[in-house]
Amino acid sequence: MSIEVGSKLEGKVTGITNFGAFVQLPTGATGLVHISEVADNYVKDINDHLKVGEMVEVKVMNVEADGKIGLSIRKAKPQPEGGTSRPSRPRPNNRSFDRAPKETFETKMAKFLKDSEDNLSTLKRATESKRGGRGAKRG
């Protein structure tokens, strides 16, 4: 029995780390279920979802050339109508950004110079007041 991407298999959890769980497959090979692939919702502590020795159904996500096997428990579950297991979020309408007027280089440079002059004058006023006035020399 070869391990093919997309196949669903039954495996035994052999180890748990802070980044995922190692699952031994029926072929004897061991794969990793990343913590993000354990459940549909956010997983803070993987120990709340899995225990060593537990049998789980996994889906093979990828098989690397060096033999590493990526697994998913989340995607092995039956998919709801719509095809995605994660709740969809409304996407921002990017067209509003296209309608914004484009600033030219000259406009940006003029704005930068004005801001810089304002900042320098504020800084100069603050340092002069600490030195006792308009730089009056003492005798």
Domains parsed from the chain with CATH numbers: 5-70 (2.40.50.140)
Q: Kindly state the average pLDDT of the residues 38-66.
A: 91
The mean-pLDDT minimum among 46-55, 66-75, 96-105 falls in: 96-105
Span of 7-16, 29-38, 97-106 with lowest mean pLDDT: 97-106
User: Whole-model pTM?
Assistant: 0.55
Confidence category of residue 67, pLDDT binned at 50, 70, 90: confident
Query: What's the pLDDT score for residue 32?
Result: 94
Sign of the CA dihedral running 119, 121, 124, 129: negative
pLDDT at 88: 56
* pLDDT, tens digit, 9 for 90 and up, residues 2-30: 788 888 999 999 999 999 999 999 989 99
What pairs with residue 8 in β-bridges? 59
With 0-12 CB in 10 A as exposed, 13-18 as middle and 19+ as buried, what is 21? buried
State the CB neighbour count (10 A cutoff) for residue 71: 27
- In this structure, the chain runs to a length of 139
